[in-house]
Amino acid sequence: MKAGFVRNLRRWIPRRERPTQRVALLLAAVTLVLGTAWSILDDNHQVKVAGVIIIVIVLSSLMLSVNGMLALLGLVALCLATVFRVHGLNSAQLSPSGFVMVLVTGLVGVIQARKRDALGLKEVSAETVIGLIRERLLVQSQLPSVPDGWTVEIEQRPADAAAISGDFVSTRLVSTPAGQHLHLAVIDVSGSGIAAGPRALLLSGAVGGLLGSVPPDDFLQAANSYLARQQWSLGFASAIYVLLDLDTGEYSVRVAGHPPAVHFRPCRAPVWRTSAATGTVLGVLPTLTGELDREVLQPGEALFLYTDGVVEDRTRDIDTGTGRLKDTVEQLAGQDQWPGLARQLIERVPTQAVDDRTVVLIRRHPVPAKEVPTGPVAAGRPAGSIGPVGESAGSAAGEQPDQGASARGQRDVAGLRPLG
């Protein structure tokens, strides 16, 4: 008997998860009683008892559990019985349509509370959970502090103005004896908006753990293996992974079914270079195949990464959208509007908001005029071109220069090696 008394006593001891439910139920009960009393005293002229009950039930269904809703509906029945006792079955007090509305609202409120209980949402709302997912995805894309002379911008927009999306960006800055290296991956999970957000959150955790921790050549394969183990019904994702040497500007691009990176070179010909990296999409085949691409980001140049939602939609193909992106970059760069350029691109390039959109800008600042090399070394270059001392005319035209054994050694340390 003593044990039973202790158990019953514990039920009434406030616990961390209960005060909110109790306070919400108490406020709903007080509002319901006061509203019913006002309706009775006012003879239902200004305050309608049906309106009071419906408002209380709707608001309570957002916070109360099933047990709380059932207790509230019991109080609703008691209030209605009081009204009928005082005024009789008078349609002026509660019409048949009003009675039906009260019943339907009560039923919907219980169903809503049951769904919340099944998901464990007793103390938080679904909106709060989505907000937490969004915050976690944003943490993954927080930029490290890059050295002076570099700018990295990330802009994202979910489809249909949703709170979360299937696009995410993961970054990591790694310091080695060879210098500082920026690892940056853009992932586009199948689907869009809220539906793709949970899958993006799950995959972002794995990507964040792999990025910079495994050899660059193994990164996409490791992500592919992880994704295949999840056995999602829509179990694929596209990815682009850039490893950038922040000392030399050399970068490598690895792709898994993702739109190619584009390299803006305002002082070289051609002005645009499209990355030749290719690869199969993540989560489809057990082993990825593809080609690695390497280049050097010279001072004054920029590299752009983006998802297909930026350049492709139902009314245009990806080539048309990519051309629109390039034209916008040239226009804004010509006006020296580099700060916030990623935000302007994501707002001006897409013509529809039917897919998640992500734009990443990596820019190497131009060398101040006093540091531009002059003399015989610079002779023969296009006017205004900027590059490292000793760069040949062939490399200025887009050919890969031979950096020598020392530079190749630095690339090996940085992990910039061909696939396979």
CA atoms lying within 13 Å on the CB side of residue 387: 24
Whether residue 237 sits in one domain with residue 122: no
Count of domains forming the chain = 2
Same domain, 52 and 151: no
Asked, for residue 139, whether it belongs to a domain, the answer is no
Residue 403 belongs to a domain: no
Whether 382 contacts 362, CB under 8 Å: no
CATH number of domain containing 150: 3.60.40.10
Alpha helices, H only, 96-169: 96-118, 126-140
Q: Do residues 240 and 363 share a domain?
A: yes
Mean pLDDT of the chain: 77
Which amino acid is residue 64, in one-letter code? L
Helix, strand, coil tally for the chain in percent (to 5): 45, 20, 35
Listed ranges 140-144, 270-274, 306-310, 385-389; the one with the highest mean pLDDT: 270-274
Contacts (Cβ under 8 Å, ≥6 apart) of 39: 47, 48, 49, 52, 83, 93
Does the residue 136 lie in any domain? Answer: no
Is the predicted pLDDT of residue 226 greater than 90, yes or no? no
Confidence of residue 53 (pLDDT cuts 50, 70, 90): confident
Strand partners, 256: 239
Binned at pLDDT 50, 70 and 90, residue 8 comes out as: low
Domain identity same for 167 and 262: yes
402 in a structural domain = no
3-state class of 224 per DSSP?
helix
Q: What is the DSSP letter of 271?
A: S
| Same structural domain, 20 and 81 | yes
Beta-strand (E) ranges in 280-352? 290-291, 293-296, 302-306
Q: How far is it between the farthest Cα atoms of the chain?
A: 106
* Residue-number span of the structural domain to which 70 is assigned: 13-126
Same domain, 227 and 297: yes
Residues 71 and 174 in one domain: no
pLDDT 10s digits, 117-157: 776 666 556 566 666 666 666 666 677 788 889 999 999 88
